[in-house]
Structure formats: C-alpha cells, structure tokens
Amino acid sequence: MTTATELKTQILTKADEDNEFRARLLTDPKAAISTELGTAIPEGFNVLVHEDSATRRTWCCRPRRHCRRPS
C-alpha cells in the first residue's frame, strides 16, 4: 500500500518534470491529482497547492489534534 507521503512525493516529482501538469496542479489540484492517480478525491476533502519562490515560503501546521493543550 502506498503511503500519503509516497503519493505526495510522486505528485511533486511529476510537477517538477512536467510543466503542464504543474500548471494544472496549481490551478485545480483535486482534478490534477485525481487524473494522475486514477482515483477520485472525496467530496469535502480539500487540497491546496502553493508554489514557493525566492520571496515566499509556505508552511503547514499539523492538525490541531497534534498540538499540546494549554495547562
């Protein structure tokens, strides 16, 4: 079984190698990923893809359940 990390690596590698796929991934990530993997992404599940640059970095916080609760 392929892990989420492996799928993410597959998608990002394809985006590095294929400019048309990269453009689709940035404009409509769910459709691009669904087409590439040959499977539908469930309704209500959102995918955001951003492109970093020399002046922009994107950070992603883990889901709230991973955060410590204040004492």
| Contacts made by residues 36-41, CB under 8 angstroms, sequence distance 24+ | 36/10, 36/11, 37/7, 37/11
The structure's pTM equals 0.78
Is 18 a domain residue? yes
Is 61 a domain residue? yes
Nearest to 48 by CA among 8, 2, 6: 8
* Whether the Cβ atoms of residue 47 and residue 41 lie closer than 8 Å to each other: yes
Which one is predicted more confidently, 57 or 2?
A: 57
* Number of domains into which the chain is organized: 1
Distance CA 35, CA 18 (A): 14
Give pLDDT tens digits for 5-59. 899 999 999 999 999 999 999 999 999 999 999 999 999 999 999 999 999 999 9
Is 71 a domain residue? no
Domain of residue 26: give its range: 4-66
Distance CA 71, CA 3 (A): 34
